Amino acid sequence: MLLLLAIGASLVRGHKGTRVGFYSTTCPQAESIVSSTIQCHFNSDHTVAAGLLRTHFHDCFMRGCDASVLIEAAKTQLEAVCPGVVSCADILALAAHDSVVLVNGSSWAVPTGRRDGRVSLVTDADNLPAFTDSIDVQKQKFSALGLNTQDLVALVGNLTLFSLTKAGKVL
């Protein structure tokens, strides 16, 4: 379920041109820097995992897909090693992956190569599925993004992960 959720989160506002190993020549340390940063934060607070996965989903749904306060630590380290190379959108995607792995979820190869969004509209928030939305409304919102019912189940299922880790339970 976590694997489906994370892969589905990567599909929201799909990014053309992404591929596994995008930074292999321009910044080979990118994935390990993000991973060690997330591991450090996770060791201090296990709820970070669910929060990052949720942030990745919500930011991408609203065309932001480019950062959060916690991601800033990884961005600072990456800028010291590979200035101007790794996007915040990819840092967030890698961090979401690492969060799933840290709560004993599956691992997968993360396609990278996203560019940071240049558009972030508050009106896009109306398109986020709300817990008060009926199934039909949620299906319509997902369909508008080219996602299907299976994607809906996987992505909205992150609320379970989020709720359990907020309650102090690590899956």
90 marked as binding residue: no
136 marked as binding residue: no
Q: Does residue 97 have an active-site annotation?
A: no
Helical spans, DSSP H, in 65-129: 71-81, 88-102
Judging by DSSP bridges, how do beta strands 19-20 and 111-112 pair with one another?
antiparallel
Q: For the chain, what is the radius of gyration of the CA atoms? A: 15
The answer to whether 114 touches 93, Cβ cutoff 8 Å, is: yes
The secondary structure element, H or E, covering residue 104 is: none
64 marked as binding residue: yes
* Catalytic choice (41, 46, 56, 58): 58
129 marked as binding residue: yes
Give CA–CA dist 162/4, Å, rounded: 15
Question: Binding site membership for Ca(2+): which residues?
Answer: 59, 64, 66, 68, 160
Q: Which residues are annotated as a binding site for substrate?
A: 129
Catalytic residues: 58
Residue numbering of the annotated binding site: 59, 64, 66, 68, 129, 160
